[in-house]
Each structure stands twice: as structure tokens, then as C-alpha cells.
């Protein structure tokens, strides 16, 4: 694992939580969507919060794809949950909002889970069963 | 009755997003390390190879289904149930699916981590 790879994982965490937050904010403006008015789901994209949220989620998707190309799914996924911790800490120390004991417990559980996975190897599968078309590099990546 | 619909929506979101994650992870493992590939062959080769992988588009389709069903469920479902339940249970479903379909070595450490993260995410999202 290089510094750049850790940076990609940080991108996964930051972009997913920021994107989700903006999307949730935008959907509050859009209001209820029913099966009879599915067009409002498409028009929701015109809301600036939803649009910015989708842009950030695209950045999340790019970094998520990059991470999945060199690490296991079960290694990358916990990183996405770090976003919840970042949002909570930003609210606590940036905006001086109170964090309930339940949320502190959530932060502790996520951090412990991510720490557990990060302490182990990032890649455990062998490339044989994937029928990769041609090798990327002669060097073995960590 | 509304509860049954909400749980059906949650189950559908978990199924779609786990399917998407597994397919995308499979596709990207076939593509190989994009950082190395970009350095050696350029960005165009990276894009070409990703677009030549059918499971990438299937994964994308499953992710789009998960995204829109979440958006749909959020607009009428119980927010305090839909978000934590679908987000946290997806971690557990993914751990089992990665072991089964991607042959990842999900030992006690990673399974415990998935459960911890799932519990934490549920608490944060409530």
C-alpha cells in the first residue's frame, strides 16, 4: 500500500459522505415521489443540491473503482463508512454540534472495524480465476 | 402494511447494491491495477479496458437500480429505518457475497470488521 493508494481510500470516504449529505438535503426540497409521478424522480436532478450530490458521487465512483482494481471489496467497503465518522467529527469540531452517546458508540465501532481490516492484507484473491486478459505489470503489487 | 413495503424496499436495495458491488469488484479485478495501467499505457487504455468488461456495465446497472430504489424509498419510507437498515445490512451481505463469489479470504477478522462497521453505521444513521 502506497501513500497514493491511501489517498484514494480517503477520497472514497470523503466523496461518498459529502455526496450523500447533499443528495439528502436536495431530496427534502423535492419532496415525496410516487409511482404515478416517476417523472419527478428524473426532474430531481435539476435541483442544485441533488446535482452537486451526484457530481460528488461520480468522484466517489471513480475513486471506488480505482480502489477495487487493487484491493478486495471487503477491504475497500469499510473505508466508505469512514465518511459517517468524518461528517460527525466535522459537525462536532467545525460547527460545535453536540454528538449523542449513541453516535459516539457508532464512531467507535466503525473506527474499530476499519482498523481491523486495515491491519490485514489489502488483497487476498489470486488472479487465476478471473481470466484476466493480459498482465498489467510483471511486478507483484502489495 | 406500510412496514411490509418498507422492509421489501430495504431488501431490494440491499440485493441490488450487493449485486452491483460484487460485479464491479469482479470487473475491476479483471481490468487490473488502474494506477499501474495508466502509468504504463495511458488513460485511454484504462477506459478501453474498463468498457470492454461486460460485468462493469451489469454492475453499473445494478448500482443504478439500487440508487433509484433508495431515492424512491427515501421519499415515502421511514427515514430512520430505511437508511440505517439498508446501509448497515449491505456491509454484512457484501462480506458473505465477496467470500462466495469473489473468493476473497473473509476470515474471522474481516467478518468481525463487517459486523462492527454494520453496527456502527446503523447507530450513526439512526
Residue A60 within any structural domain of the chain: yes
Given a cut of 80, is residue A31 above it in pLDDT?
Answer: no
- Shortest Cα distance, chain A CAs vs residue B101, angstroms: 11
Overall domain count for chain A: 1
Given a cut of 70, is residue A95 above it in pLDDT?
Answer: yes
Q: What is the mean pLDDT of residues A72-90?
A: 87
Which residues, in sequence order, are CB contacts of B86 under 8 Å at separation 6+? Answer: B10, B13, B14, B17, B70, B73
Q: Which residues of B touch A71 (CB under 8 A)?
A: none
Cell 462492527 -> residue: B116
Given a cut of 80, is residue A38 above it in pLDDT?
Answer: no
Instruction: Name the residue range of residue A50's domain.
Output: 3-126
The answer to whether residues B95 and A74 touch, using CB atoms and an 8 Å cutoff, is yes
Res A121: pLDDT: 84
Task: Record the pTM.
Answer: 0.81
CA–CA gap between residue B9 and residue A22 (Å, rounded): 22
Given a cut of 70, is residue A32 above it in pLDDT?
Answer: no
Which of B24, B102, B116 lies at the smallest CB-CB distance from A112?
A: B116
Is B100 an interface residue toward A (CB < 8 Å)? Answer: no
Q: What is the mean pLDDT of residues A113-120?
A: 86
Rounded to 5 degrees, φ, ψ at B58 are: -65, -40
The answer to whether residues B95 and B114 touch, using CB atoms and an 8 Å cutoff, is yes
Is A21 an interface residue toward B (CB < 8 Å)? Answer: no
Q: Quick: pLDDT tens for B53-108.
A: 999 999 999 999 998 898 788 877 777 888 889 989 999 999 999 999 999 999 89
Which one of A3, A45, A66, A77 would you mutate to disrupt binding with B, by most B Cβ within 10 Å of its Cβ?
A77
Given a cut of 60, is residue B8 above it in pLDDT?
Answer: yes
Mean pLDDT for chain A overall: 81
What sign results for the dihedral spanned by CA atoms B43, B57, A83, B106?
Answer: negative
- Shortest Cα distance, chain B CAs vs residue A135, angstroms: 8
Give the angle subtended at the CA of A13 by the CAs of A140 and B119, to the nearest 5°.
105
CA–CA gap between residue A82 and residue A75 (Å, rounded): 12
Residue A138 within any structural domain of the chain: no
Q: Quick: pLDDT tens for B26-61.
A: 999 999 999 899 999 999 999 999 999 999 999 999
Which of A84, A109, A125 lies at the smallest CB-CB distance from B104?
A: A125
A3 or A31: which carries more pLDDT confidence? Answer: A3
Report CA dihedral (A69, A71, A74, A78) to the nearest 10 degrees: -100
Which residues, in sequence order, are CB contacts of A70 under 8 Å at separation 6+? Answer: A5, A122, A123, A141, B33, B34, B35
Is A136 an interface residue toward B (CB < 8 Å)? Answer: yes
Res A123: pLDDT: 85
Given a cut of 70, is residue A35 above it in pLDDT?
Answer: no
Amino acid at each position: 500500500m502506497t501513500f497514493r493508494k491511501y489517498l484514494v481510500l480517503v477520497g472514497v470516504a470523503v466523496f461518498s459522505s459529502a455526496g450523500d449529505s447533499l443528495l439528502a438535503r436536495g431530496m427534502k426540497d423535492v419532496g415525496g415521489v410516487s409511482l404515478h409521478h416517476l417523472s419527478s424522480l428524473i426532474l430531481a436532478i435539476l435541483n442544485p443540491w441533488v446535482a452537486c450530490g451526484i457530481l460528488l458521487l461520480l468522484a466517489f465512483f471513480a475513486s471506488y473503482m480505482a480502489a477495487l482494481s487493487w484491493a478486495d471489496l471487503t477491504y475497500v467497503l469499510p473505508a466508505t463508512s469512514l465518511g459517517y465518522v468524518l461528517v460527525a467529527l466535522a459537525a462536532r469540531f467545525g460547527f460545535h454540534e453536540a454528538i449523542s452517546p449513541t453516535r459516539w458508540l457508532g464512531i467507535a465501532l466503525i473506527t474499530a472495524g476499519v482498523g481491523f481490516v486495515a491491519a490485514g492484507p489489502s488483497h487476498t484473491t489470486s488472479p487465476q480465476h478471473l481470466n484476466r486478459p493480459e498482465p498489467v505489470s510483471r511486478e507483484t503489487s502489495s | 402494511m406500510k412496514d411490509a413495503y418498507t422492509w421489501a424496499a430495504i431488501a431490494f436495495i440491499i440485493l441490488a447494491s450487493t449485486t452491483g458491488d460484487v460485479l464491479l469488484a469482479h470487473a475491476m479485478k479483471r481490468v487490473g491495477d488502474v494506477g499501474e495501467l495508466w502509468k504504463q499505457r495511458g488513460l485511454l487504455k484504462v477506459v478501453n479496458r474498463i468498457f470492454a468488461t461486460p460485468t462493469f456495465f451489469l454492475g453499473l446497472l445494478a448500482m443504478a437500480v439500487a440508487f433509484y430504489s433508495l431515492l424512491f424509498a427515501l421519499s415515502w419510507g421511514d427515514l430512520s429505518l430505511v437508511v440505517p437498515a439498508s446501509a448497515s445490512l449491505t456491509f454484512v451481505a457484501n462480506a458473505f457475497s465477496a467470500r462466495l463469489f469473489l473468493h476473497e479470504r473473509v476470515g474471522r477478522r474481516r467478518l468481525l470488521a463487517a459486523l462492527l462497521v454494520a453496527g456502527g453505521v446503523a447507530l450513526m444513521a439512526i
